[in-house]
Chain A
Amino acid sequence: MVTQNIESIDLSVRLGSLRLANPLMTASGTSGYGPELTSFIDLRKNLGAFVTKSVTVEPRKGNPPPRTVETSGGMLNAIGLANVGLERFVAEKTPFFEELNIPVIVNVAGHSIDEYVTVCCRLDSIDCVNGLELNVSCPNVSDGLEFGTDPVRLGELVATVRREVSNSLLIVKLSPNVTDIVTTARAAIESGADCLSMINTLQGMAINADSRRAILANTCGGLSGPAIKPVALAMVWKVYNRVAREAKVPIIGMGGIATWRDAVEFHLAGATALAVGTTLFVDPEAPAKILGGLRDYLDCNGISSVSELIGQVETR
């Protein structure tokens, strides 16, 4: 075992203009607006950045229940973007962020380009909001198709928001429900994304054989948890090697991260930062455990900075 001063290990990473003290973030929609987790974990000590649940212009009650169902190694969710709406978010939720002392990224959703622009412009002017993550897996009201599944439509959305956002890091959260995620990643980068986060949930369905009914009220939902990790790793690896590395656009890797090993694997695939999502439902202390494991791993392998892992997987 190589021994070095474990305190000297550099866990910090850089996402464009933002410096994160460590690579761990929350995945949108899995940590509420922040205070929900504070009974269990010191957010400031254990997270490099905090990512909120989606915010839309108007408040949304969300889908009727059942909204989630457990599946093998994960779960499906169809929450329906339940949130308090932009104005209540600014008034009631941002004061917590002012005290947090880590970068805060707000996930933004909309059903038209105008809605995304409205939310992004308002939040871009708020000091304690450091990044905006576009949830592009929402259907466009005009034709019901998701923004994130078509590179032209995605490019138009990102370019429009890009023109309006000057202070915040602009992150595009890619949908895995596409034929070739490299194409949508390239569209996001060419339209001005500072950073990519990937992957969002995979579309899935659960059926009760006894009742012969769909389990979710929404019929289909998004699959998350350890079950999707191999899919996410492959997508991060492809996007990193085919477009993101060359464009110097960092990737926030996510999809089933539950352990420090998962964290190392995502770094090796090409992720600069990492988001823990569904695992937080099971273990709200997971970030502290993952961070400890990551630090031990770097120490045991004589690696002084976590950045040295990024994209270093050897292929056969």
Chain B
Amino acid sequence: MANPPASLALGVSANRQLCRDHFRLTLCTEDFPAARPGQFLYLGPTVHADLGSTSSGTLGLRDSLPMPFLRRAFSIANLRRADGKCFIDVIYRVVGAGTQWMAGLRKSDQVSAVGPLGNGFGPRPENHDLWFVAGGVGFPPLMWLANSSADQANSRVFFFGASCADFVPSILSCGEDAGRASEIPGCAAVIATDDGSLGVRGTVVDVLTKYADKRKPDGPKITVYTCGPEVMMRAVVEFCSSRSLECYACLERAMACGFGTCQSCVVPVADELDGQGWRYALCCTEGPVFEASRIIWNHP
């Protein structure tokens, strides 16, 4: 890990809905360690941080246990530093108790955060075409990655798949124009929806295949980055393998700690040094980004 993570209280500077069930939480702090795309934050109510304190007059808190008990992990969607402050975006979909708590956060509320955690994306290969293939709420880390790859890439395409237009965040399209992502300037965008309500009808792998078929054989090399539902990532990885494309997958696993102690978030990966040829890697510290060919998807 490049930078040691910190445990911090972050202020909420905005919490805005992007599309159905999806929100962007912007957090603000004066000091945040250097971070890179693919790294994540572990968020929880500040009540956690106050539980042990006597000096702040919060003695009564211990009888009201915070819900949810564990923190929640979110990829960083953007990080910008300006005027001595650091603004960090996370984008989430409301699916349960943790994200419901987040949806209720208002400007100037505080959240407790641990981060940056995990091993992010490595340096992008120079002069490759970079394809970012996202599905559902898997797009945030790829959005940051795409935005920070403008200089290295030969060209960039952002593929995004969702079930229908309702679940396409406004920042990944420009209204009806599904060929541009308003918050990834200079990057081509291709949207696929299962019902065809926005962009191409079909899956993101369908459009990926069409794109690849149209390319001239002597074009620049392509590197693929993917994050989204597991079934989609597996299809993307399979596609990349069939076309001999380098591919990196950003995985999500349930975790209790985020920094390597709880051992919850194991991912089976190929390892020739292991007697059985595989081992469990921790998604939180060794990942969440893995070279896709190392992941054993069909592990019993």
Contacts and interface: CB of A to CB of B under 8 A. Distances in A.
B256 interface: yes
B114 A284 contact: yes
Contacts of A82: 263, 266, 280
A73 B62 CA distance: 12
Contacts of A292: 52-55
Interface in B1-27: 4-7
Interface stretch (B43-51, B147-155, B165-173, B175-183): B43-51
A36 B70 contact: no
Given A40-B7, A64-B300, A262-B62, A73 B53 contact: no
B234 interface: no
Contacts of B99: none
Nearest to A224: B256
Given A66-B254, A74-B69, A82-B280, A281 B55 contact: no
A164 interface: no
Contacts of A32: 260-261
Contact of B7 (A36, A66, A68, A285): A285
B54 A293 contact: yes
Contacts of B255: 68
Contacts of B54: 260, 292-293, 296-297, 300
B264 A283 contact: no
A225 B255 CA distance: 15
A75 interface: yes
B53 A68 contact: no
Contacts of B5: 39-40
B70 A79 contact: no
Contacts of B279: 61
A101 B162 CA distance: 54
Contacts of A61: 279-280
A69 B70 CA distance: 10
Interface string B279-290: 110000000000
B220 interface: no
B265 interface: yes
A256 to B, nearest CB: 10
Contact of B53 (A77, A226, A284, A289): A289
Interface string A275-307: 000101111111011101100110010000000
A30 interface: yes
A144 to B, nearest CB: 22
Contacts of A79: 262-264
A77 B264 contact: yes
B253 interface: yes
Interface residues of A, number: 48
A42 interface: no
A259 B51 contact: yes
A283 B7 contact: yes
B101 to A, nearest CB: 13
Interface in A1-41: 29-32, 36-37, 39-40
Interface string B231-275: 000000000000000000000011111011111111000000000
B259 A36 contact: yes
A62 B279 CA distance: 10
B150 to A, nearest CB: 31
B71 interface: yes
Contacts of A280: 257, 261
B44 to A, nearest CB: 6
B215 interface: no
Max count, chain A CB within 10 A of own CB: residue among B52, B112, B266, B279: B52
B82 interface: no
A48 B70 CA distance: 26
B78 to A, nearest CB: 24
B297 to A, nearest CB: 13
A230 interface: no
B95 interface: no
Given A280-B257, A283-B112, 8 more contacts: A36-B261, A65-B266, A73-B65, A75-B70, A286-B51, A289-B53, A296-B54, A297-B54
17 contacts: A30-B262, A40-B259, A61-B279, A66-B264, A68-B264, A69-B254, A72-B69, A278-B256, A281-B257, A281-B261, A282-B48, A283-B49, A284-B7, A285-B49, A289-B51, A292-B53, A292-B55
Interface of A: 29-32, 36-37, 39-40, 61-62, 64-75, 77, 79, 82, 225-226, 258-262, 278, 280-286, 288-290, 292-293, 296-297, 300
Which 5 A-B pairs rank lowest in CB-CB distance, beginning with the nearest?
A289-B52, A281-B257, A68-B264, A39-B4, A296-B54
